[in-house]
A and B are shown apart, each in its own frame.
Chain A
Amino acid sequence: MKNPPLQQSIDQQSSQAVVLDDPNLSEVVVTLDNVSFGYSYKKLILKDLNLTIRQGEILTLLGPSGCGKSTLLNLIAGFYKPLSGLITHGDEVIKAPANKRGVVFQGNALFDWMTVEQNIGFGFRFQKLPKTESRFRVRQIIDLVGLAGSEKKYPYQLSGGMRQRVAVARSMVVHPEVLLMDEPFAAVDVQTREGLQEELLKLHDQVSGAILFVTHSIEEAVFLSDRIIVLDRDCRGIFEEIKVHLPSPRWSAMNRISEEFNQYRTQLYLKLKELG
């Protein structure tokens, strides 16, 4: 068979991209099936929770302090095991951390004794990948997150925002199927934070893969997410689920001041107010 004309193949690709854009139609990556967790059965933090993370989506967890957002993220990472229920990634049950599930913490997770380059390349030490390929990918992501020129620096020589860039790049460079981010930008100032959010969206565009994002900030949630889940207090589960549709490119700063953005924000604000 002859190759299809160029225009047609582009059309096919773009129509595919549209399909992937809709989280409802893309493939499920992680499934939580009736998951309960707590340090004892009497004091549960999560109870009978059902949740799916779909391929390529950015899903944000919002909710009052202590509602179990971070616990949920740690469970998916494989740091804890659920008391009951099943957490699956693809067709395997999550039992321990694995490099197809990256994690970005709030801070303090960089290896202070390694340079920026070594930090970012750390994950490749445990992969059978040609040196040239891993070097190329490290190089590429360093340029993408604006760390060029700082390759040989150590974390103590970087600002807080730069350190988080390294942390994000280190997790992203190994192309995890899901990236779990636990309030990764909470400790940096507002201007830096907005820059980091925009870079994250650009990175996500390049390195496909789902992101589960935990935050306290409504604005951050709206700006980043395809889907926002508000968790209820006292392990009552999911309180609200909102799908976010904002014009592309999503990283455009204009989105922050658009009418739609405001509507989402108001909606979420009222929902969180209901929870008290």
Chain B
Amino acid sequence: MLLKTAWRSARPKGRVQDLQSQALREKLTILGVSILIPLAILVAWELTTRLGWVDPLFLPSLSEIVAEFWAMVTKGYAGTSLLSHIFISLQRVYIAFFVGTVIGLLLGLLMGYYKYIRAAFYLVTEVLRPIPPLAFITLFILWFGIGEVSKVMIILYAGALIVMLNTMAGVQACPKEKILAAYTLGANDLAVFLYVILPAALPSIFTGMRVALSVDFGILVAAELLAGDQGLGYLIHDASTFFNVEALFVGIFLIGFFGLLSDVVLRVLSNRVVHWQGH
């Protein structure tokens, strides 16, 4: 893109513009497009539904969804306040994500560093990897009951596996020269691990965490769809049962919103910690 800009500015077209203002204009255009297009979609949505081109049963208008959202905020949904639904879902996903990340990180570091541990768990992980975590959901309910534990456990499992695999890959991908250079400068095994291997694996670890978090949200909704009487997944499930399409959309939007918010937080954190790659 930079190349293209430079090439264009090299041939004066009417008014000669310098590179900097050219680049600024490009940035503004990108920003404008990225805001205007979604806005246009929302407007089109509202218009088509208002004008009755789409059956509101399939796609309610935006304003109706907002109204339903406001009703939920004031009166709650299914005997529980909307905040409680949100809170319980976020609690499930964050606890599972946090514990899963810690476990996945530890296992991944061990497996990446010690080839014998890697060998010991190789087959297990290779078998587990392609199985969608949701395949285990009824099994988890059988083992851990229908309450909180089974939901948290299934999310935890899904996230931990992803973090583990990414951490392991990150540790193994650490360039050999860096490790050897540290040894020749007097570092012992522990120092090499702490100062070289671990930081080298951090970008990969954060990638794993971000993937895990988005997967965790998916598993959360699925787990709540199946069982429970609280949470955003339950809200969606309940709304579908009663054909309350507006409430269904509210649930979907809320999950999207908190999923996005969590990812943004994690991304900011990741860019802060892994600042040495240049963004």
Chain B residue contacts of A157, Cβ below 8 A: 278
Name the A residues within 8 Å of B227 (CB-CB): none
Shortest Cβ distance from residue B254 to the other chain A in the assembled complex, whole angstroms: 38
For B202, list chain A residues within 8 Å (CB): 113
Contacts of A109 in B (CB 8 A): 175, 177-178, 180-181
Asked whether B195 lies within 8 Å of A111 as measured between CB atoms, the reply is yes
Q: Are B178 and A111 in contact (CB under 8 A)?
A: yes
B185 & A105 in contact (Cβ 8 Å cutoff): no
A170 touching B185 by the CB < 8 A rule?
yes
The yes or no answer to A99 lying at the interface (CB within 8 A) is yes
How far, in angstroms, from A79 to B202 measured CA to CA in the complex? 26
B165-186 contacts to A (CB < 8 Å): 175, 177-178, 180-186
Residue among A97, A107, A111, A126 making CB contact with B180, cutoff 8 Å: A97
Question: How distant is the Cα of A102 from the Cα of B182 in the complex, in angstroms?
Answer: 10
Residues 241-272 of chain B, each 1 if its beta carbon lies under 8 Å from chain A, else 0: 00000000000000000000000000000000
Do A99 and B182 touch across chains, with their CB atoms under 8 A apart?
no
Partner of A122, one of B185, B276, B278: B185
**Pairwise interchain contact B186-A103, C-beta atoms closer than 8 A:** no
With CB as the reference atom, state the residue of chain B lying closest to A105: B177
Considering residues A99, A109, A171, which has the most beta carbons from chain B within 10 angstroms of its beta carbon? A109
Q: Closest residue to B178 on the A side, CB-wise?
A: A109
Chain A residues with CB below 8 A from B236, complex form: none
Kindly state the separation between the CA atoms of A157 and B275 in the bound complex, as whole angstroms: 12
B239 at the interface (CB under 8 A from A): no
Q: How far is the CA of A127 from the CA of B185 in the complex (A)?
A: 10
Check B191–A171 contact: CB distance below 8 A.
Answer: no
- Once the chains bind, are B191 and A125 in contact (CB under 8 Å)? yes
Query: Is B20 among interface residues, defined by CB-CB distance under 8 A?
Result: no
| Given known A103-B181, A125-B191, A154-B276, contact A111–B199 (CB-CB < 8 A) | yes
Within residues 57 to 108 of chain B, which ones have a CB less than 8 A from any CB in chain A? none
A101, B191: Cβ atoms closer than 8 Å: no
Distance from A74 Cβ to chain B, minimum over Cβ atoms (Å): 9
- Contact status B184-A127, CB under 8 Å: no
Q: Are A97 and B184 in contact (CB under 8 A)?
A: yes
Q: Does A269 contact B (CB under 8 A)?
A: no
Cβ of B180 and Cβ of A79 under 8 Å apart? yes
Contact of B186 among A110, A126, A156 (CB under 8 A): A126
A107–B188 Cα distance when bound, in Å, is 22
Among residues 165 to 207 in chain A, which have CB atoms less than 8 Å away from a CB atom of chain B? 167, 170-171, 174
Question: Which B residues are in CB contact (< 8 Å) with A111?
Answer: 178, 182, 195-196, 199
Q: A residues 230-273 with Cβ under 8 Å of B?
A: none
A96 to B180, CA, bound (A): 11
Contacts of A123 in B (CB 8 A): 185-186
Tell whether A77 is near chain B: CB-to-CB under 8 Å: yes
Are B175 and A174 in contact, with the CB atoms below 8 A? no
**What are the residues of chain A within 8 A of B34 when measuring CB–CB?**
none
Residues of chain B within 8 A of A122, CB atoms compared: 182, 185, 187, 195
- Report chain A residues within 8 Å CB of B185: 99, 102, 122-123, 126, 170-171, 174
The residues of A that contact B188 with a CB separation of less than 8 Å are: 126
Q: What distance in Å separates the Cβ of A77 from its nearest Cβ neighbour in chain B?
A: 6
Complex alpha-carbon distance, A161 and B237, angstroms: 61
Contact A156 B276 (CB under 8 A): yes
Other than the given A112-B277, A126-B185, 10 more pairs (CB < 8 A) read A98-B186, A107-B177, A108-B177, A111-B182, A112-B200, A123-B185, A125-B186, A154-B275, A157-B278, A171-B181
B residues near A, CB below 8 A?
A: 175, 177-178, 180-188, 191, 195-196, 199-200, 202, 275-278
Q: Can you spell out 30 A-B residue pairs with CB atoms less than 8 angstroms apart?
A: A77-B180, A97-B183, A98-B186, A102-B184, A102-B185, A103-B184, A105-B180, A108-B177, A108-B178, A109-B175, A109-B180, A111-B178, A111-B195, A112-B277, A113-B200, A122-B182, A122-B185, A122-B195, A123-B185, A125-B186, A125-B187, A126-B188, A127-B186, A154-B276, A156-B277, A157-B278, A170-B185, A171-B185, A174-B185, A174-B186
Residues of chain A at the chain B interface (Cβ within 8 Å): 77, 79, 96-99, 101-103, 105-113, 122-123, 125-127, 154-157, 167, 170-171, 174
